[in-house]
Amino acid sequence: MNETGMKVRTRFAPSPTGFQHVGGMRTAMYAWLFARKHGGQVLLRVEDTDQERKVPGALRFLIEELAWLGIKFDEGPSDAELKEFGEEIPGGAGMKGGHGPYIQTQKLPRYREVAEKLIASGHAYRCDCTQEMLEKERLEQMARKEPPGYTGYCRHRNVPATAKHVVRVKIPERQKIVLNDPIHGTVTWEDISLRDPVIMKSDGISLYHLAVVVDDHDMEISHVMRGIEWMATAPLHLYLYDCLGWKAPVFAHLPVVLGPDGKKLSKRHGAMTTKELREQGFLPEAVLNYVTLVGWAPGQGNNQEIFTRDELIKAFSLEGINSANGVFDPKKMEWMNGMYIRALSKEEFAKRGLPFLERGGFPVDLSLWEKIAPHVQERVKNLAEIPAMVDFLFKSKIERDLEAMYGKGVDKPMAQRILERAAVIMSELPSFDHATLEAAFKAMAEEFGLKAGPAYGVVRIAVTGKRVTPPLFESISVMGKDVAVARVKETIGLLAA
């Protein structure tokens, strides 16, 4: 129940015409968050009345990505309905029913029934104008510099049901419509500026405008969260509710999520679907957290940004949604992901990072990974960075950035001397733990009159090949004496050559 005592039921109603980016996912997040916050239900509905634009796999993609984020629906199409639709979720999606069908093309008779009701009450009428007639009309209007639109030719013609026809809404001349949107406040239209829109196609399939009203009513939806592109047609929807004598849900029109360039999100922006983010090593909890924050803030002077799932649910409100468009900032997404990575337990990090490590293209020794993982955990912003950071532990042959050894008191002869000494020191060391190594190398640096940085740097390049690595002694300790000494000797050979 929400503050008005109304049972909260929200829905996510995608049309399976493509793969949703994070902006579309955010709509689902908000619907889910709001339902959870008020102890209500959130359900999934498939708006597939446009059969021509249907994309195979789009629905499955959506369900699976949302599941990855931890968003499960209380109601939605059953596995049987999904199968009929042509999509099967491995293991089953397991959504409950109760207000189905949840796939619009499986509910066509109901829309026809409502359309007939609208015709009977005089709010709608049949129209048998052909596409050619409409096109001609449009052309003439444009020639006269009039705004194009249906003139209502069939309004009073009583086109018989037996003729091939569409159903249009008879839009009243002056019909004031008031929308109370929790995000935008009160929005008023002096009239519905639409020209008798079609709600039922000549093939008998409902258009969005009818289906959405019928479904939200039938499914007892209390709050609709949808993209702001729907605000312009909200008057039509509100009018339809009125004609039908139904109570309209609360409509919250969400602003747009833009790419870093300020343009609408698209493929050009790179990783903008959750699937891509997942492949780049972003954690679902971080993605849920950050994406929710694009366009929403707790307000009330609360500056919190990192939220657990439960904290998000607790803090969420429609009023906290910003009315202006927002930019998805990949940099901040990365920062937040790093925060989440560091908050993981050692074991959890090692476990989640392993699949990414295995993609590195080299054999992975699990025990070495587990030893070095905690040091990697402090240094990566996403899991995909892992292989490049520790590959030197697993590869038999490494590339070295030799130039990086020089500078700050170290030239080539000095580097050679350091490495000769390092090889001896390591060979003679009784134990190979961090403390022993550090003490030995610290003494060595002093021997050469060098600061730790430059001296260790030479060894770092020799054993790892890179200038940026996990801490040196941990790295050496994990790779073991044999490998470390061999790599130092190999480097001496390279310098001599």
Partner RNA sequence: GGCCCUAUCGUCUAGCGGUUAGGACGCUGGCCUCUCACGCUGGAAACAUGGGUUCGAUUCCCAUUAGGGUCACCA
Q: Which of residues 238-277 bind RNA (CB under 7 A)?
A: 255-256, 258, 262, 264
Helix (H) or strand (E) holding 198: strand 198-200
Site for RNA in 65-124 (CB under 7 A): none
Nearest Cα to Cα of residue 288 among 316, 255, 326: 316
267 among known catalytic residues: yes
- Out of 267, 346, 351, 442, the active site residue is 267
| Binding window for RNA (CB under 7 A); candidates: 68-76, 217-225, 265-273, 471-479 | 471-479
The Cα–Cα gap between 107 and 222 comes to 21
Residue 11 main-chain phi, psi, to 5 deg: -145, 155
Contact 197, 167 (CB under 8 A): no
Point out which residues pair with 434 in neighbouring strands: none
**What's the token pair of residue 194?**
């639409």
Member of 131, 158, 367, 431 binding RNA (CB under 7 A): 131
| Binding window for RNA (CB under 7 A); candidates: 68-76, 94-102, 199-207, 406-414 | 199-207
| Binding window for RNA (CB under 7 A); candidates: 110-118, 215-223, 267-275, 469-477 | 469-477
Member of 327, 364, 483, 495 binding RNA (CB under 7 A): 327
Site for RNA in 200-229 (CB under 7 A): 201-203, 207-209, 228-229
Member of 68, 108, 137, 230 binding RNA (CB under 7 A): 230
284-297: burial string, b at 16+ Cβ within 10 Å, e else: bbbbbbbbbbbbbb
189 binds RNA (CB under 7 A): yes
Q: Strand, helix or coil at 372?
A: helix
Site for RNA in 377-436 (CB under 7 A): 378-379
Q: Binding string, 12-41, against RNA, x = CB under 7 A?
A: ---x-x------------------------
54 Rama sector, left if φ>0, alpha if ψ -120 to 50, beta otherwise: beta
287 binds RNA (CB under 7 A): no
147 binds RNA (CB under 7 A): yes
- Residue 382 is given by DSSP the state S
Least distance from RNA to the Cβ atom of residue 476, Å: 9
469 binds RNA (CB under 7 A): yes
Contact 291, 222 (CB under 8 A): no
Contact 444, 455 (CB under 8 A): yes
Catalytic residues: 267
